[in-house]
Amino acid sequence: MKDDIIYLVLLGSCIGFGQFYRKFSDPEQKKLIGTGFGLLVVLSVSGFHMLHMLFCYLVSALLIIYVSRKVCHLACFGFMFGYLFFFRSIAWLGYDAPPGHTNMIQMILTLKLVGLAFEVNSAFTKSLEKATDKPTLSEADRALLKVDMLDIFHYSFNYVGVLTGPYITFKTYRDAIYLPFSGKADCIGATVEKLKVIPLYAALFLLVSYIWPLQYATSAEFYEERSFVYRLMYVWPTFFIFRMRIYTGILLSECVCTMAGVGAYPAICASKPGHGPSKEDYATLDTSGEMEYSFETVRNIDVINTERCWTFREAMKYWNMCVQYWMAMYVYKRFPSKKYRTLVTLAVSAIWHGVYAGYYFCICGAPFYLPIEDLYIKLFIKDATGQRRTVLNVLCWISKFFAFSYLGIAFLLLTVDKIWYYYSSVYYFGYVLWIVLYVVGVMIAKQRKAHAKRGARSQTDTSTSSTTTIKQD
């Protein structure tokens, strides 16, 4: 709770600072003020551990600027993820472990610097393409090709998103500095709208944490005196607590962006989380008149759709959307083997989250559940209608949250011994259930396929027989 209080105070300070920060119209002043406050936040949280971030910035900036732009993204990716592993392992070497919030700063910095290297590589690739009837490069791409050490420093340590995200591209950061959208958008209104629901999530987090604390799942009483059903069902409140905590933190981090005006674009730009505007000519829009603005670029979570959507696969799309954009753009789409793209992307996500085994149990378990869900949707839900469809959707929704909760307990317990002890206490119920469901689903699918073939063969034989009879007549 101490870490959570520090986290809330820092985020509250960053939100409040946005009202002051947004008043600066001079780009150079805005850069200096934003970076100065960001460095203060990093220093207050990390102390001398801040040297890790400064070192990562220095090496990555040199790689981005001086290594061939054909491979600078790969070099930066290897260095930053390698250093992230080292950063989390220094306690094993006998040194003081960095604070938890410092780890979050390092995580976001990894995404930003590697993402910038990929942006530079993409701009370079575009520059090699021959122009036809119009310029190949946008202003943002030209800026990426001219990026220098100071630009990278400001982007790395600007206070917006420096603590917990959301991930914003260099293009989005630069737009917030140079374009007038932040001064036109209703930043206070957008922030208040998000802040309205945060007390509800925080209150639910505190209430359920008090009734069903996660620590109880590691106690002797939990395993010796509680029934199998109680232990199995305990994953539901623990994952509910986790969701409320994440919702609170992510929405507060979004408020830092909205209050600062970062990620504000005209609604007609059709912005997407992480990516920004879908239209390339947004920088030339006339903003002198009345215009609706959107902060979709920095929208990191869709709580309502996460809770109410029917399937596991769909819920994943609404969770940590800016980070998912990063994973999709720079891992999934770039990985050469289509067969292993999903597994590699989830593995990178697990590595990014931390070195604990629980992250791998949880995140890498998703690809094994998704085929089961897809199979049963195809078998039973896809063609269902009316009340039957509703009942099946509700069962799918229950299955979705059980899967999240059952895998999520590993994310929270972290270490192999605790995870295995818990799963063995419930006789690996989730894994056994999913194996049985998959086998039964495959058998049903094969039976239906065989039945369809017999029906088609029977129809063909009947048609042939009829044709022969007609000919004989």
Q: Which residue has the tokens 């507060």?
A: 252
How are beta strands 293-294 and 265-266 bridged, if at all?
Answer: antiparallel
Dihedral (Cα; 67, 72, 78, 81), 10-degree rounding: 110
Tell me the C-alpha distance between 245 and 239, whole Å: 10
Burial group, residue 349, by CB count within 10 angstroms (0-12, 13-18, 19+): buried
Burial 126-135 (b: 16+ CB within 10 A, else e): eeeeeeeeee
* Run of H or E residues at 294: strand 293-294
Q: Is 345 helix (H, G, I), strand (E, B) or coil?
A: helix
Among 49, 73, 320, 451, the one annotated catalytic = 320
Among candidates 154, 194, 146, 201, which has minimal Cα distance to 173?
A: 154
Cβ within 8 Å of residue 249, ≥6 positions away: 7, 11, 164
Q: Is 49 marked active-site?
A: no
Tell me the C-alpha distance between 35 and 29, whole Å: 10
Q: Is 154 marked active-site?
A: no
Tell me the C-alpha distance between 178 and 189, whole Å: 22
Among 73, 275, 353, 451, the one annotated catalytic = 353
DSSP symbol at 331: I
Catalytic sites, residue numbers: 320, 353
